[in-house]
Amino acid sequence: MGDPPGPATSRTRHLTAFLRLTRALTLTFVRNRQGVFWSFFFPVLLMVVFGFLGGQGAFHVDIALAGPPGPVHRLIREDLGHVPIFTIHPVKSVAQGLGQVVHGTADVAMIVPPPTAPQVLKVYYNSSSYIGAQESLSAVRFAVAELNVAMSGRPPALGIVTRPVAGRDVNYLAFLVPGILALMAMQNSLFGLATTVVRWKERGVLRRFFATPLPPSTLLSALVVNQLVIGLVTLAIVLFIGTVILHAQVLVPVFPLLVTLVLGIAAFQALSFMIAGFARTTEAVIPMVNLVSFPMMFLSGIWFPVSSLPAGVAAVVKLFPLTFLTSATRALMSTTPRFTAAIRGDLVGLAVWLIVTSAVAVRTWRWE
Amino acid sequence: MTPADGVVVVRGLKKRYGALTAVDDVSFAIPEGQVFGLLGPNGAGKTSTLEMIEGLRVPDAGEIFVQGIDARRHPAKIKAIIGVQLQNSSYFDLLTVRETLGLFGSLFPVHLPEHALIPRFELAEKADTRVKDLSGGQRQRLSVALALVNDPRVVFLDEPSAGLDPQARRILWETIASFREEGRTVVLTTHYMDEAEFLSDDLVIMDHGRIIAHGTPRELVRRYLPGAVIELDRPAGQRIGDLKLEALRRAEERENLWTLESDRLEDTLVDLVQWSRERSVPLEGLRTRGATLEDVFLELTGRSLREDNGEARPSEGRERRG
């Protein structure tokens, strides 16, 4: 009966099965037109909206200005106040200025020295928003240098003329793109994997595969690898649209970015399996996924820096996996295209999430 | 019973879900090439029994041998050689029939090609249709085709005709009969007695997790109901309890139909006719027939096979391993 292709060794058979499953899952993804549409719709829509509306110059520095009134105070208020990117908020005391920096209502606090003291302008910034602070500080440094020239009436030994070139203008789109990539990595994993696995359990798909000699682990690894690859391809397409079509001024260090995103997706996949272990029905899994993803979606620094949250909230939000992923992705794409200590810290955070959620998932997982 | 007594041998099988004993000391041996039926109402333990043999559930006690292999010790070996159709299983909705057959085939060391299976299960017109667009009957044919994908010697079919219209059921019966002609052994669960009667060479009747009768359909009827059955419409104004007839073994009324089981049909009929004359009650819809498995089940349990027996028991397909 039939024409068997001859007994294959079990290893090549598992590989064949793995490849056939991967192909089947890819077909399933591609044929789900609505699914494909929605996985691109919001990221691209957001980029388009902020790419056109946000425009340039969205970068802005709020300065809390403290210190005794006097010529220096007035000069800073007037001269810097005319620069569009600066807004000066005079405050009554040094403490009040520092408080604003800590709470994120000001990016930097500038303390004007009393007339008797040495003419040193103290500038305080929030060290927890390192990247934003660096941008603010360099703008302030530059402005103060020009102010110096104006006050001394002497041209500096080396003058600077700035001209914008197609370089890294920090605007909101550039801020947003790394966040959108991180957000997509999360959403694709949570919605794609957790709901798929629970639906398979509920509708007896998993069960049907258990009645075959396929090791269950092969089925799940095909699913995981497939989701990872589809996720990366989706991210690449969104990144392409963001940079090539909408001209987001971001760095694209391919290898470090790949490592970071793969680690992020893996962490969210483990989280998905953890959720799929708790949820018994498709109706149950969607609210659970929302419960997990909504706080991260809003708070993890996708739309605004975590440092602008109240300190207590920020301390918690900083431990969210999406915060780690967003922070690392944004740092790689906006300041340093290699693994700095700060980025390595984020990656360690993601790795810890991956390990912990995997361990929980192994315990909560049920095959049916 | 030893592993050599049949292609499938089950001894002392038990399965409990919490307080419920779903399968209680079930034993049987199936000779090669037979269609073996497990007949019983929902919740009788048929599916649990099948799923333990298939390696999908772990028994609490008992032994299982399939083709001489210890199924509890080597579930993977068993899965490679048996054919399985499950209740309520689904596949990838967006794959076509052909792709689904190819995918499942690739999971087995030996498999039949799609082009051999598609025409045999009358799926040629639907070969490139996605699974989600199939009708119930077509989907069921795909399920049964998938049970044959690895060219198995033993095929397990769990309620294969559930939810099918009469014509689709007939087609399915022919397919199952053709499995037997090819020398395959078929193990089948059903709660349709006509299906069990038509297809089974040998069958067990299960109730509350136990086998309550075992034999060929003919043997069972002869053993438990050697007489015949008289059916008639309930005569207006008459009560079945008032019937006093010769050789009447049992009288049942359901939905305005009287069912009278008789040990000696002639004597009972004569009495019945006389009773109708005395009371001037016309006998409408009167007919006689031999007893069926349905009657045997009624005789054995006091309940009808398809009657909702009102017990709060999960349907077998949805039980979860705690």
Please report the DSSP string for B45-68 in residue order.
SHHHHHHHHTTSS--SEEEEEETT
Out of A3, A20, A210, name the one closest to residue B56 (CB): A210
What are the DSSP E strand ranges found in B202-295?
A: 202-207, 210-215, 228-233, 248-254, 257-262, 287-290
Give residue A260's identity as a one-letter amino acid code.
T
Q: What is the pLDDT of residue B309?
A: 42
Q: What is the pLDDT of residues A7-21, one digit of tens each?
A: 456 778 788 889 999
The CATH 3.40.190 portion of chain A extends over 61-152
Across the range A338-349, mean pLDDT stands at 89
Distance from CA of B20 to the nearest CA of A (A): 19
Q: What is the pLDDT of residues B247-288, one digit of tens each?
A: 888 888 888 889 888 888 888 888 899 988 988 888 888 888
Out of A21, A31, A213, name the one closest to residue B76 (CB): A213
Q: What is the pLDDT of residues B151-194, one digit of tens each?
A: 999 999 999 988 788 888 898 999 999 999 999 999 999 888 88
Q: Does domain B226-290 have CATH number 1.10.150?
A: no
Residue A260, H or E segment: helix A254-278
Q: What whole-number distance in Å separates Cα of residue B158 and Cα of residue B135?
A: 19
The arrangement of secondary structure in B3-216, i.e. its CATH architecture, is 3-Layer(aba) Sandwich (3.40)
- CA atoms in the 13 A half-sphere facing the CB of B30: 29
Select from A13, A196, A210, A281 the residue whose CB has the most chain B CBs within 10 Å, as the one to mutate to test that interface.
Answer: A210
Kindly determine whether residue B92 and residue A205, on different chains, have CB atoms separated by under 8 Å. Answer: yes
Look up residue A50 and give its DSSP letter: I
Q: Which residue of B has its CA nearest to A212?
A: B79
Task: Calculate what percentage of chain A has a pLDDT beyond 70.
Answer: 85
How are the residues of chain B apportioned to helix, strand and coil, as percentages rounded to the nearest 5?
A: 35, 25, 40
pLDDT at A130 over 60: no
Out of B79, B88, B94, name the one closest to residue A27 (CB): B94
* CATH class of residue range A61-152: alpha beta
With the CA atoms of A161, A162, A166 and A171 taken in that order, what torsion angle do they form, in degrees rounded to the nearest 10? 180
Q: What whole-number distance in Å separates Cα of residue B222 and Cα of residue B217?
A: 9
Q: What whole-number distance in Å separates Cα of residue A302 and Cα of residue A323?
A: 8
* CA–CA–CA angle B40, B45, B46 (5° rounding): 60
Whole-Å CA distances, A287 to A275, B173, B245: 10, 44, 66
Map out the domains of chain B as residue ranges.
3-216, 226-290
Q: Is the ipTM, as predicted for this complex, more than 0.85?
A: no
Which residues from chain A sit within 8 angstroms of residue B80, using beta carbons?
A: 213
Kindly determine whether residue A368 and residue B110, on different chains, have CB atoms separated by under 8 Å. Answer: no
Q: What is the pLDDT of residue B253?
A: 86
pLDDT at B245 over 60: yes
